[in-house]
Structure 1
């Protein structure tokens, strides 16, 4: 198995497979209602929904980076207040996350592994480090979501 395929497996496992940490984005988020997702159970903390949008935006950002774009990070670090808290809007957010999953898997299936050593000019980290970093970012925020879900639905 080549490295891109191994990384695809890591993306798939964390999203809806059988990861070592035993929780997935899809299973966890699929049990959360729009009402739960919009709650702010921790003072000055983010909602589940804000975190999911943050995950989506960073997945998109890093994908564009490893495709050669140089990007600015917004001051809000992709954390924005949720205005529409309807069930439909929550489903659309989950669909957008699914879209980023498909985009990453497609990218990795077509990626030239010789480009793993390319460096992103803003931080001099390699594409390989960025790709693993986004998986780590997803896992980090999944942990937050699991805890927030327990608080919002005891």
Structure 2
């Protein structure tokens, strides 16, 4: 198995497989209703829903970076208030997360490993660091989601 496929396995495990940390995005989010996802259990903190949208946006951002696009980071760090807390909107968010997962798996399946050493010109980090950064970012926020899920009222 080559490195890109090993990284692909890490993406899969964290999303819906059997990661070392024993929680996954899909399983955790499948138990959260739109009502719970939109609650603010911490004053001035983010909701689960805002965090999920943040995860999706950063996944999309970094995917564009490692495909050669140079982006300007938004001042809001991809944290936006939820305007439509409906069941349909929550389903669209979960579908967008799944779409980002499929896009990353396809990218890693077709990635030229010689490009791991390419540097993103803005921060001089390699594509390899960016790709692993997405997994680290997802794990970090999954931990937040798990804690927030314990705090929200059903």
TM-score category, normalised to shorter length: over 0.9
Residue 124 (structure 1) aligns with? 124
TM-score scaled to structure 2, two decimals?
0.99
Any unmatched runs of 5+ in structure 1?
none
Task: Give the Cα separation in 2 of the matches to 1:55 and 1:21.
Answer: 18
Task: Give the Cα separation in 1 of the matches to 2:30 and 2:96.
Answer: 14
* SS class of match (2:49): helix
Task: Give the Cα separation in 2 of the matches to 1:92 and 1:23.
Answer: 22
Say what the alpha-carbon RMSD is for the aligned residues: 0.7
Any unmatched runs of 5+ in structure 2?
none
Task: Give the Cα separation in 2 of the matches to 1:47 and 1:143.
Answer: 13
Q: How many residues align?
A: 154
Residue 12 (structure 1) aligns with? 12
* SS class of match (2:96): helix
- CA displacement 1:46-88 (0-9 Å, x = unmatched): 0000000000000000000000000001100000000000001
**Following TM superposition, by how much is the alpha carbon of 1:7 offset from its aligned partner in structure 2, in angstroms?**
0.2
Residue 65 (structure 1) aligns with? 65
Residue 97 (structure 1) aligns with? 97
Residue 53 (structure 1) aligns with? 53
* SS class of match (1:61): helix
* SS class of match (1:40): coil
- CA displacement 1:90-120 (0-9 Å, x = unmatched): 0000000000000000000000000000000
**Following TM superposition, by how much is the alpha carbon of 1:44 offset from its aligned partner in structure 2, in angstroms?**
0.5
**Following TM superposition, by how much is the alpha carbon of 1:20 offset from its aligned partner in structure 2, in angstroms?**
0.2
TM-score scaled to structure 1, two decimals?
0.99
Task: Give the Cα separation in 1 of the matches to 2:31 and 2:16.
Answer: 13
**Following TM superposition, by how much is the alpha carbon of 1:153 offset from its aligned partner in structure 2, in angstroms?**
4.3
Residue 2 (structure 1) aligns with? 2
Residue 77 (structure 1) aligns with? 77
